């Protein structure tokens, strides 16, 4: 009978045997909520299983690595297994909360094969999910491995609803799909230049993090943490057996995914588990799996709000490049001395920290899509951009210019210039850089998500940190919590951002209701919210693009899309037309001591309340997809006995993302702990509330 049960559990691939039962080890999370069981079958292959609140969340799934000349997926015996308990807490330099508890049970599952090669599986069981990774300790006769495959599987227990984007080697800038696991199919995404630089090879491969909801209500997100010296983790979907298998972005020699030196450990594979969507948003699992900060004195790292010369290029009012096709000034250049002064004045007047200026340096003429090397010079401004005068002017005004380094993905060229480029920044009093990786990578054959590039991003994080520079990477790999280790790495784009609304079919209203459950699980996104002029025909009557939002929702995004770096992305003139609405953007902070999820469903709606760091003020953001919604909000997060003034920015009467995006009602009311009221969100709308202590 026992035999029969085991067979049922393991299917055909695993023969039950004494040896299997002898190798089984189980750990439970501190609150007995998550359980991990690991074992070896008769062939010495490794399997694991995860239960959550007594039910299987990930059924028996295989583990292992294959490397060139050395198979680390079978023939193992259990050498030793050690379980231990850990409980500590740490304070992030910035974040959604000011204190994070790291409470887990660990299992070190040490293996050895017949040739004496050793590998350890390290598991961490948290109440909120599970992490595991592969470790190869130093050992005689094995110095380097060339990883050809990772066998890690995630056997789902049903045909869950999944929110996913394709396993693209080069981009994360896709619209999310919502489908059953069995229906995952990237074919519709695989059109040339749907995203300019995309590379989708396998039609059932998805990017991590992927979010899922089981019929039981169990919510699961599969992700990775601490991506370093390895290809990014994508997942191959077995749509028949409802199973995911690790797929590592390869090197140009596609048979090799990664080359690693011992001692080696893989990034963490993370399984976030929750009984509801809110729990996924609240999870600190990915951060906890990352290494502590390597920056000893982080006092120079400052969360920031910024404006910049950027959206005017996207809407077609200005250009990045200075010259026209005949080599003459085109008269449309955005990054001029005069225009930059205008932004500096605006930033100073309304209390922004920084002014991003794109298109300031030579090289923008005709580079796009050409896969050229040596495109940009990162210390050579265009002749109409007086950087000396501007950096002085910004300093006088108490504002910092934010540097822009579009690498054009000529990354080796950028690496050769990094030292000079950062010295040039420091000389001009800049301490934040936005990097860009538009186009196909040089080294040619490398991918945005491959090992070489992942090492590059970390080199940039480290090199900027050495120079006390904060960094915001666009078109880089999606984050995996490394901002814990390098808190100067403020944000990434690594998803479909606001800009798509200016010149493409754009982002559907549900988009920002999916991002926090997927892409943003790994780290902050520089989404660039705050567009007030949402219709592109206001710039050009021939344009039909719109931002799929109401203006009130744009405000709410500053709360719901967490980032320590937030842009007020619209043009100064658009803000100055609606200073009453703009006031919320001026008020909302970018660093928090506490965060509460008031309600959330993936792809439908999110309502968060957050407390400003070093303050008693709270800010609430609520957003919805294409459906209008009403929520009853109870202010039980406020401390008792204090009075607040709430400024409520709601969708105005008749507001609708498509037909009537502009109306915003602004109401002030006195509130206190326990107060309850209803907020109404228009279709594609939102609500933002500033709750300030009086």
106 has catalytic annotation: no
Q: Is 326 in the site for its own copies (CB under 8 A)?
A: yes
Question: Does residue 145 sit in helix, strand or coil?
Answer: strand
**Range in contact with its own copies (rule: CB under 8 A) among 379-387, 440-448, 558-566, 602-610:** 440-448
Q: Angle CA(50)–CA(55)–CA(56) in degrees, nearest 5?
A: 40
Q: Closer CB to its own copies, residue 433 or residue 689?
A: 433
Question: Which helix (DSSP H) or strand (DSSP E) does residue 693 occupy?
Answer: strand 686-693
User: d(Cα 624, Cα 604) in Å, to the nearest integer?
Assistant: 6
Q: Closer CB to its own copies, residue 373 or residue 587?
A: 373
Q: Cis link prior to 443 (omega < 30° from 0)? A: yes
Longest dimension (CA), the chain: 84
Q: Phi/psi at 341 (nearest 5 deg)?
A: -60, -40
Q: Is 116 in the site for its own copies (CB under 8 A)?
A: no
DSSP assignment of 37-72:
EEEE-TT--EEEEEEETTEEEEEEEEE-EEETTEEE
Residue from the set 256, 335, 357, 425 that interacts with its own copies by CB under 8 A: 256
The distance of closest approach from Cβ of residue 56 to its own copies in the complex, given in angstroms and rounded to an integer, is: 40
User: d(Cα 142, Cα 362) in Å, to the nearest integer?
Assistant: 48
**Range in contact with its own copies (rule: CB under 8 A) among 20-28, 99-107, 249-257, 513-521:** 249-257
What string marks each residue from 17 to 56 as x (binds its own copies by CB under 8 A) or -?
----------------------------------------
Residue from the set 370, 466, 670, 676 that interacts with its own copies by CB under 8 A: 370
Q: Is 143 in the site for its own copies (CB under 8 A)?
A: yes
Q: Closer CB to its own copies, residue 84 or residue 370?
A: 370
Residue from the set 182, 259, 504, 680 that interacts with its own copies by CB under 8 A: 259
Q: Is 366 in the site for its own copies (CB under 8 A)?
A: yes
Report residue 321 as tokens: 């490049």
Q: Closer CB to its own copies, residue 416 or residue 426?
A: 416
User: d(Cα 121, Cα 63) in Å, to the nearest integer?
Assistant: 9
Q: Is 444 in the site for its own copies (CB under 8 A)?
A: yes
Residue from the set 102, 185, 236, 373 that interacts with its own copies by CB under 8 A: 373
Q: Is 144 in the site for its own copies (CB under 8 A)?
A: yes
**Range in contact with its own copies (rule: CB under 8 A) among 50-58, 141-149, 556-564, 680-688:** 141-149
Four-point Cα dihedral 376, 378, 381, 386, nearest 10: 160
**Range in contact with its own copies (rule: CB under 8 A) among 179-187, 437-445, 604-612, 630-638:** 437-445
| Residue bearing tokens 């583990």 | 63
Residue 307 near residue 313, CB atoms below 8 Å: no
Please list every residue from 605 through 664 that binds its own copies, using CB under 8 A: none
Q: Angle CA(173)–CA(174)–CA(176) in degrees, nearest 5?
A: 135
Q: Closer CB to its own copies, residue 396 or residue 419?
A: 419
Residue 473 near residue 435, CB atoms below 8 Å: yes
Report residue 265 as tokens: 């450990």
The distance of closest approach from Cβ of residue 412 to its own copies in the complex, given in angstroms and rounded to an integer, is: 6
Question: Does residue 453 sit in helix, strand or coil?
Answer: helix
Residue 78 CB coordination number (10 Å): 19
Residue from the set 71, 365, 604, 616 that interacts with its own copies by CB under 8 A: 365
| Residue bearing tokens 């002017």 | 393
Strand order in the sheet with 432-436: 489-492, 470-474, 432-436, 400-406, 354-357, 304-309, 565-567
Q: Is 261 in the site for its own copies (CB under 8 A)?
A: yes
Q: Is 372 in the site for its own copies (CB under 8 A)?
A: yes
| Residue bearing tokens 């599986």 | 121
The count of residues in the chain is 694
Count residues binding its own copies (CB under 8 A).
31
User: d(Cα 58, Cα 37) in Å, to the nearest integer?
Assistant: 10
Q: Closer CB to its own copies, residue 179 or residue 259?
A: 259
Please list every residue from 412 through 431 that binds its own copies, using CB under 8 A: 412, 415-416, 419
Q: Is 140 in the site for its own copies (CB under 8 A)?
A: yes
Check residue 363 and report its DSSP letter.
T
Q: Which of 153, 173, 282, 499 is catalytic?
A: 499
Which residues contribute to the site for its own copies (CB under 8 A)? 140-141, 143-144, 146, 251-253, 256, 259, 261, 325-326, 365-366, 370-373, 412, 415-416, 419, 442-446, 452, 455, 459
The residues annotated as belonging to the active site are: 499
């Amino acid at each position: 009978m026992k035999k029969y049960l085991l067979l049922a559990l393991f299917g055909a691939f695993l023969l039950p045997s004494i040896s299997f039962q002898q190798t089984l080890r189980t750990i439970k999370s501190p609150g007995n909520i998550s359980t991990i069981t690991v074992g070896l079958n008769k062939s010495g292959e490794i399997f694991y299983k995860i239960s959550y609140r007594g039910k299987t969340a990930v059924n028996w799934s295989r583990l292992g690595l294959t490397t060139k000349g050395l198979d680390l997926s079978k023939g193992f015996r259990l050498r030793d297994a050690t379980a231990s308990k850990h409980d500590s807490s740490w304070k992030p330099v910035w974040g959604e909360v000011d204190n994070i508890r790291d409470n887990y049970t660990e299992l070190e599952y040490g293996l050895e094969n017949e040739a004496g090669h050793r590998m350890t599986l390290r598991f961490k069981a948290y109440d909120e999910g599970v992490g595991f990774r592969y470790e190869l300790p130093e050992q005689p006769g094995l110095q380097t491995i060339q990883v050809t495959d990772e066998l890690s599987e995630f056997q789902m227990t049903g045909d869950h609803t999944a929110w996913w984007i394709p396993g693209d080697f080069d981009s994360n800038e896709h619209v999310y799909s919502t489908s059953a696991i069995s229906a995952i199919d990237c074919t519709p995404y695989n059109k040339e230049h749907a995203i300019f630089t995309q590379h989708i090879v396998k039609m059932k491969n998805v990017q991590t993090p992927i979010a899922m909801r089981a019929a039981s209500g169990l919510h699961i997100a599969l992700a990775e943490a601490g991506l370093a010296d390895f290809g990014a983790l994508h997942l191959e979907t077995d749509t028949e057996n409802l199973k995911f298998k690790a797929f590592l972005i390869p090197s140009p020699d596609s048979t090799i995914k990664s080359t690693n030196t011992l001692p080696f450990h893989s990034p963490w594979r993370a399984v976030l588990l929750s009984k509801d969507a809110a729990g996924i948003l609240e999870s600190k699992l990915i951060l906890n799996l990352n290494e502590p900060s390597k920056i000893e004195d982080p006092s120079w790292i400052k969360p920031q709000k910024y404006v910049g010369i950027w959206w005017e290029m996207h809407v077609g009012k200005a250009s990045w490049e200075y010259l026209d096709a005949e080599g003459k000034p085109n008269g449309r250049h955005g990054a001029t001395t005069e225009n930059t002064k205008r932004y500096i004045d605006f930033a100073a007047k309304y209390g922004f920290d920084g002014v991003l200026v794109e298109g300031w340096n030579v090289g923008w003429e005709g580079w796009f899509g050409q896969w050229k090397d040596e495109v940009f010079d990162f210390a050579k401004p265009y002749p109409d951009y007086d950087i000396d005068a501007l950096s002085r002017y910004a300093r006088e005004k108490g504002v910092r210019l934010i540097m822009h380094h579009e690498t054009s993905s000529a990354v080796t060229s950028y690496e050769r210039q990094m030292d000079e480029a950062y010295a040039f920044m420091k000389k001009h009093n800049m301490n934040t850089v936005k990097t860009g990786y538009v186009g196909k990578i040089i080294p040619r054959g490398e991918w945005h998500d491959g090992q070489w590039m992942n090492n590059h991003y970390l080199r940039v994080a480290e090199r900027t940190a050495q120079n006390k520079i904060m960094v915001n990477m666009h078109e880089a790999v999606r984050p995996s919590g490394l901002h814990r280790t390098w808190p100067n790495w403020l944000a990434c784009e690594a998803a479909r951002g606001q800009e798509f609304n200016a010149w493409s079919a754009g982002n559907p209203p549900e988009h920002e209701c999916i991002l926090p459950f997927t892409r943003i699980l790994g780290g902050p996104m520089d989404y660039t919210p705050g567009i007030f002029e949402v219709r592109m025909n206001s710039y050009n009557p021939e344009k039909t693009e719109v931002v799929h939002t109401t203006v009130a929702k744009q405000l709410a995004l500053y709360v719901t899309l967490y980032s320590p770096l937030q842009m007020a992305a619209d043009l100064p003139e658009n803000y100055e037309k609606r200073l009453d609405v703009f006031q919320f953007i001026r008020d909302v902070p970018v660093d928090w001591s506490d965060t509460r999820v008031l309600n959330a469903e993936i792809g439908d709606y999110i309502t968060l309340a957050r407390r400003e760091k070093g303050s008693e003020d709270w800010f609430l953001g609520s957003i919805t997809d294409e459906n209008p919604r009403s929520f009853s909000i109870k202010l039980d997060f406020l401390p008792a006995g204090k009075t607040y003034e709430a400024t409520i920015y709601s969708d105005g009467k008749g507001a609708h993302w498509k037909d009537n995006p502009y109306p915003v009602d602004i109401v002030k009311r006195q509130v206190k702990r326990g107060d309850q009221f209803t907020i109404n969100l228009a279709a594609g709308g939102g609500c933002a509330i500033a709750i300030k202590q009086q």
